[in-house]
Amino acid sequence: MEFNTKLLHGRTVSGYADHAILPQIAQVTAFSYESAQAQEKVFAHQAGGFAYTRIGNPTIAAFEQRMAELEGGATATACASGMAAITMGLLNFLRAGDEIIAANGLYGGTIDLFSDFEKLGIHVRFVENLIPEEINKYTNTHTKAIYGEFISNPGLRVLDLPKLSEYAHEIGVPLVIDSTTVTPYVANPLKLGADIVIHSTSKYVNGSGNSISGIIIDGGRFPWDTDRYPALCEFKKYGRMCYSARLRSDLWENFGGCLAPMNAYLNILGLETLGLRMERINHNATALAAALSKIPGVSVRHPSLLEHEDANLVKEELQGQGGGIITLRVGSKEKAFEVINSLRLATIASNIGDIRTLVIHPASTIFAKNTREAREKAGVYEDTIRISVGIEDEGDLIADFTQAIGSIMERLA
């Protein structure tokens, strides 16, 4: 089955209660039992069933199973947000004294989170290019993970996952990939060598900007050495599934960052059109980036552009699809604000992956807490505008951005 067919007829789509075509929304806290014995069995994992929504819920499980199937993972664990997924996905196997090697150009929230990790004794070493030659300089016995965004938001760098995973596995650490901006429609990080995949499903998976959520998907293939990863020691008997076993029955359950059943349902609805939306978004973004790059005085970044530094990886790993984010530099913060304010269609909002085209000035908003140095390393300058391209008609989008840039450039030149 190809992707769009799988979205509607995949292995994990059928079998809903009462033959409903979509899973029912189990908007409940707890599940009742006929006897204490029956409940005991569920708690002892001797019988299937649900007990309490923080630990498991049929609507959330339906979403998790869909995501595991679409990413080719062994297990998926849904979380209250993408940030919760990153936090729990990493803290599940790390502890004080450990080090992570990560790319510079990460999502601002993740950079902030990594400074919280410092306070827990987990040190993150940032490299400009997440490639073996650079990672090698920082690798030591404390190195316990390599972390990056497949297409970084908003840096728009693309990672070479086969090469990175080969290096990670050589040094015995997992490759953890945030694939929010790529989505399983475009590529599956697990198939390219990653071990753990994380998504902010608030974005493209949901698609309509109606719920915050995240997910952790475990490929189930990494050979965890529990001497090296003592956090997983207690779960050693699960072998390569020890990561999922601990996450599910210990860390994730105890941290309490579960997804709401209603939001799981909204994500399942969104997923059904993920392929259609991504096809259109990729098409629109490629067309808009090409049109904007012809306007003198602005510089445009999108992975589909020939001059992009990772253009070869876009071809090899992403079938030429650069995703829905474009960044634009227009010369000054003042000009960036003017361009944003002159747009008639694009909505000023701090989100990506919506069906509506969204714009933001990252330096004064989502990167306001980061230092100037960290911002610039992430590809965010005073004059940068981030566009999250939606599914509107291509001509209307090009006309809107062209008029906004055109009028402003004359006036402020």
Ligand X SMILES: *Cc1c(COP(=O)(O)O)cnc(C)c1O
Q: How far is the CB of 21 from ligand X (least distance, A)?
A: 27
**Nearer residue to ligand X within complex by CB, 180 or 357:** 180
**Nearer residue to ligand X within complex by CB, 147 or 224:** 147
Name which of 390, 396, 407, 362 is nearest 105 in CA terms: 362
Name which of 382, 363, 375 is nearest 105 in CA terms: 375
411 contacts 339 by C-beta, under 8 angstroms:
no
**Nearer residue to ligand X within complex by CB, 220 or 353:** 353
**Nearer residue to ligand X within complex by CB, 85 or 343:** 85
**Nearer residue to ligand X within complex by CB, 232 or 358:** 358
Q: How many CB atoms lie within 10 A of CB 94?
A: 19
**Nearer residue to ligand X within complex by CB, 271 or 408:** 271
Q: How far is the CB of 260 from ligand X (least distance, A)?
A: 13
The alpha carbon of residue 233 and the mean position of all alpha carbons in its chain are separated, in whole angstroms, by 28
Name which of 220, 258, 250, 263 is nearest 78 in CA terms: 258
**What single DSSP character describes residue 18?**
G
Distances (CA, A) of 259 to 107, 176, 263: 21, 21, 7
Q: How many CB atoms lie within 10 A of CB 141?
A: 8
Q: How many CB atoms lie within 10 A of CB 52?
A: 14
Q: How far is the CB of 116 from ligand X (least distance, A)?
A: 14
Q: How far is the CB of 170 from ligand X (least distance, A)?
A: 27
**Residues 218-254: b if buried by 16+ CB within 10 A, e if exposed:** bbbebebebeebebbeebeebeebbbbbbbbeebbbe
Q: How far is the CB of 106 from ligand X (least distance, A)?
A: 7
Q: How far is the CB of 149 from ligand X (least distance, A)?
A: 5
Q: How far is the CB of 109 from ligand X (least distance, A)?
A: 5
Amino acid at 169: H
Q: How far is the CB of 331 from ligand X (least distance, A)?
A: 26
Residues at the site binding ligand X, with contacts judged by CB under 6 A: 81-83, 107, 109-110, 149, 153, 178, 180-181, 200, 202-203, 212, 214, 352
* CB closest to ligand X, residue no: 82
Name which of 157, 155, 156, 97 is nearest 130 in CA terms: 157
175 contacts 150 by C-beta, under 8 angstroms:
no
**Nearer residue to ligand X within complex by CB, 232 or 325:** 325
**What single DSSP character describes residue 131?**
S
Assigned token pair, 293: 């790059």
**Nearer residue to ligand X within complex by CB, 85 or 397:** 85
